[in-house]
Structure formats: structure tokens, C-alpha cells
Amino acid sequence: MRLSLSSSRRLIYCLSVIVAFLGVILFLEFRDAFAPPPPAEVQPNAAILPAPLTYTFTNIVDSSGPHDLFNFFQVNAAGSVAFTATPRGGGQSSIYTGDGHSINEVAHGDSSLYDPAINDSGVVAFAGRLSPGEMGVFRKSGTGPLETIFQSPGLTVPANSLSINSAGKVAFAATLQDGRECIFVGGNGPVEMIAENRGAYKHVQRPSINADGAVAFQAELAEGGSEICIARGGVTRWISRGVDGADYPAINAAGRVAFRGSSGIYTSDGGPLTTIAHTGKAYQGFEMLSDPRPNGNYFTGPGISNDGTVVFAASLGNEQCGLFHGPDAIRDRIIQTGDPLFGSTLISIQFSAVSSNGKVAFIYQLANELSGIAVATPVRGAAGTQPGSLAMQAGPGLPALSPQSAHRAEWYRRALVGTFLSENGGGAGVGSLYAAARMWCHAPDEDGVRRI
């Protein structure tokens, strides 16, 4: 019997499909044999790269309790978070602290209190209006009395304008009744003005103070553009010259400042700039996302710990975003939308706080409609995992992989995600591919044993 040309082609096509299908089955059956041991170049050079980080997650407060509409938050080295919250059912925002075990009210006013900052001793500074009284900046330590740092008729304190150091000194931005915008430092003695909007400065805002009393702040320049400045001992230096859109500075104990630009995250101490991350294949951007939902995605600038680790929020495309601590959106990922968290799935995130020892506070919203504040605590160089592998980025709610599974996970990560990133510029679908690979690696092995 002779086959026509079209029948022959159909037969060849069908046979090709069958062979390909059998090849996939054989590959899945013997996948570990196909995955060679990780080559030496997979391992980062310990002399150049720090040990990789993984994170544990602590729920500080959520909307299942009496509070809702969480906002304005900072975290200290003990993992205590100072935040504002509104009582469920309405009312004015009050200042609270929480550590995952208890919630304590710091201050309550007849009008809104906001912008709390907390130091490593648990001292909280905040802005607002206490009744009766004028707008002011206040400080409170534990059960001690409420202290007034600065209060003046006609005073306005913008949001994201307070910082407190380990000695209890408070740096804050304020607009006075006469219209002057100023940066002040107070708390231990007379209040000192360190910058105002005159001369070279059109606006001054967003101060950050370190243990030595050095203050980094953002200035919009009269000549155009913006600059990150450091004021110390009566001398002010500009440190971000040439970076477009420089804003949201954060200073650590060594005097190094992390800040955001229009296309990157940078650090400087007055010398050469260091680029931590930039837009391109890995990250789509570092600006605030437009999200009208309550507790929707919101980005401020980066935070920096005393060991120099910089944490920042970034968007990845396809409405995905997350928190990261380096240039690699996979290896340096802390958490991103679509990840499991506290028994549900993260759908939006707000970020603005890093402690002196690298703890990261963020506001989350979950698919089960709960919202709250969480703290991610870094753990460097977890035992039994491959540095730089998927195992180091198992994500909240997933345990670390065994060495065998970590090896397999790294191989699949590079095949799936690495190839996708290089071919698609880090665009849509990275989070979904990554989540699928991660979940597959936590499935039982062939003998039915879950080795994770």
C-alpha cells in the first residue's frame, strides 16, 4: 500500500509528537540523572559576595483584631514596630507598638497622630495634634511621660518626616507659620535647625538621623533637580550629584546613605556612588505603583542596615512587585506578590522600614482579605542549602529544601527562570514561572517521601 505525500507528512508529525511525549516522560522519570552537579561557577565567591540571606516572617498585627487601616510604620532591632492604626468602625488614628506577641498603645489624640519612629531602646517619636494643643512633635519611652520635642502655632509636619536615633535625638521636617520649610534636630537639649528652604534649596524634606547625629535629607534645588545631603557638625555635603530624581535617603551608623533615583537604588557616603540595583532585565522600576485599593501597593525609598545591606521595593512587570536586597530579582528576593504568607497569598505590599540589624517591616494585604504588618528577619547562610539557589529563596510558608532537592531546584530555576529573564527582559510571567518551579520542588520525590 502506498501512502500519499500528505498522509506521510501526517504520519511523520504524529510519530514526532509521540517521540517527544515519550522523551518528556523519560526525562521526568530520570530527571536527577540529567541534572549534573552544580558547576563551580554557580557558587558565589565568598570574598566578593556576602553569604546569602533567607528570611523568617512574623505577623505583628492584622485586621482580624480591633484595628484596621495600618499606616506609617518603622521597626527596631528587636523587631518591635511603631505604627498607626484606626479602630475598626472608624475614629482617629493612634500610635501603637507591637512585636508579634502584644500590642501597646503609645498615644491617642482627638485628631490624627502619625509618622511614628522607633529606636533600638523602644523610644517612639511621632507627629500630630494632642488635644488641647498645637501641632507638634512628641516622644515617649515605655510607660514614661509624654515629652514635647517641638510645638508651634501654625506648624505643619509632612508625612514621612521623622527619624529617631539610639540616643533619642529626633530629626524632623516641618513648615513654620511663616512658610519656611526646615529640618530640625531635637530631643536632648535645645532644638537645632540644620537646613531651610533658602539659597540653593527650594524644598527640604525626609530627614534620617544616625547614632552620631549625622542627618541625611532630600533637597529640591532652586536651580532644578534634587540632591541628597548629609549635615554633620555644621557642615552640609551633597552626595548624589548626577543622579536624576534622588529622593528618600536613609543613613546607617557608618554614615552611608541609601537613596532612590529615577532608575536605580544607590548608596554613598560622599565618595563614589555605588549602584545597588537599576532598571533593566531584573527590575521594571522603583517608583510607587498606582494602586487605589486600601493598603494597596506603595513604595517609598530604600532602607539600609548597619552592615550595609540595602532593602528596597521594586516592580517586576505584569503587576508583580516585591522586596529585594540586591541586583538579582531571584537570588536577592525577600518576598513578592503571589508568594504564600500566613496561610494565604500576598496580593499587595507597602514598604518603608529597615532596622539597624536588617529586619524589614512591611504592610501586606492577602487574598483572604486580611491586611496587617509583618517583619521579615534575615538569616544569613542557612545550613544545608546551596548559596544563591532557590532553596535560599523558598519564601514565607515554605521550609528550606534538602541538599538533594536544593540541587534539583537550582537546576530547574536556571532552566526556567534564568532563561526566561534573559529572553524576556524580566517581563511578565516571571513570578508565575518562579512560583511553579518552587512549588514543584516541594512535591514528594518519586518514592513518595517529601524530602524538604
Question: CATH number for the domain including 112?
Answer: 2.130.10.150
The pLDDT-based confidence of 332 (bands split at 50, 70, 90) is very high
Q: Is the pLDDT of residue 440 over 60?
A: no
Tell me which residue of 446, 437, 404 sits closest to 419, measured CA to CA. 437
Q: Is the pLDDT of residue 235 over 90?
A: yes
pLDDT tens digit sequence for 186-216 = 998 899 999 999 999 999 999 999 999 999 9
State how far the Cα of 118 lies from the Cα of 102, in Å rounded to an integer.
16
> Regarding beta strands 215-221 and 94-98, do their DSSP bridges make them parallel or antiparallel, or are they unpaired?
unpaired
On whether residue 137 sits in a domain, the answer given is yes
On whether residue 132 sits in a domain, the answer given is yes
On whether residue 98 sits in a domain, the answer given is yes
Q: Taking the C-alpha atoms of 8, 12, 18 and 21 in order, what is their torsion angle to the nearest 10 degrees?
A: -150
pLDDT tens digit sequence for 76-97 = 999 999 999 988 877 788 899 9
Q: Is the pLDDT of residue 390 over 60?
A: no
The verdict on 366 and 442 lying in the same domain is no
Tell me which residue of 159, 160, 88, 157 sits closest to 129, measured CA to CA. 157
Distances (CA, A) of 205 to 55, 172, 202, 217, 343: 32, 8, 10, 6, 39
The verdict on 394 and 310 lying in the same domain is no
The verdict on 259 and 120 lying in the same domain is yes
| Structure confidence at residue 21 (pLDDT) | 64
The pLDDT-based confidence of 31 (bands split at 50, 70, 90) is low
| Structure confidence at residue 4 (pLDDT) | 54
- The identity of residue 38, as a single letter, is P
On whether residue 431 sits in a domain, the answer given is yes
> Regarding beta strands 192-196 and 201-209, do their DSSP bridges make them parallel or antiparallel, or are they unpaired?
unpaired
On whether residue 438 sits in a domain, the answer given is yes
On whether residue 22 sits in a domain, the answer given is no
Q: Is the pLDDT of residue 250 over 90?
A: yes
Q: Which residue has the higher pLDDT, 69 or 447?
A: 69
| Structure confidence at residue 18 (pLDDT) | 72
The verdict on 94 and 109 lying in the same domain is yes
Cell of 328: 538579582
The verdict on 440 and 370 lying in the same domain is no
What mean pLDDT is predicted for residues 7-35? 62
On whether residue 419 sits in a domain, the answer given is yes
Mean pLDDT across the chain, nearest whole number? 78
Is 366 in contact with 359 (CB distance < 8 Å)?
no
The verdict on 407 and 352 lying in the same domain is no
State how far the Cα of 44 lies from the Cα of 52, in Å rounded to an integer.
9
Cell of 183: 529640618
Q: How many CB atoms lie within 10 A of CB 75?
A: 28
Domain coverage including residue 280: 54-380
The verdict on 320 and 402 lying in the same domain is no
| Structure confidence at residue 129 (pLDDT) | 86
**Owner of C-alpha cell 518562579:** 434
Q: Is the pLDDT of residue 38 over 80?
A: no
The verdict on 167 and 68 lying in the same domain is yes
What percent of the chain is predicted at pLDDT more than 70? 70
The verdict on 445 and 357 lying in the same domain is no
The pLDDT-based confidence of 41 (bands split at 50, 70, 90) is very low
What mean pLDDT is predicted for residues 52-74? 89
Number of domains in the chain: 2
On whether residue 19 sits in a domain, the answer given is no
Q: Is the pLDDT of residue 299 over 80?
A: no
State how far the Cα of 452 lies from the Cα of 443, in Å rounded to an integer.
9
Q: What is the pTM of this model?
A: 0.74
Q: Is the pLDDT of residue 37 over 60?
A: no
Q: Which of 348, 380, 412 is the last residue of a domain?
A: 380
Q: Is the pLDDT of residue 392 over 70?
A: no
| Structure confidence at residue 80 (pLDDT) | 97
The verdict on 402 and 293 lying in the same domain is no
92-121 CB burial, b ≥16 within 10 A, e <16: bbbbbbbbbeebeebbbbeeebbbbbbbbe
The verdict on 414 and 290 lying in the same domain is no
The pLDDT-based confidence of 134 (bands split at 50, 70, 90) is confident
The verdict on 200 and 348 lying in the same domain is yes
Q: Which of 359, 380, 401 is the last residue of a domain?
A: 380
Lowest mean pLDDT among 14-18, 281-285, 393-397: 393-397
Instruction: Please list, in sequence order, all residues whose beta carbon lies within 8 angstroms of the beta carbon of residue 66, skipping any fewer than 6 positions away.
Output: 87, 88
Q: Which of 380, 410, 443 is the last residue of a domain?
A: 380
| Structure confidence at residue 156 (pLDDT) | 92
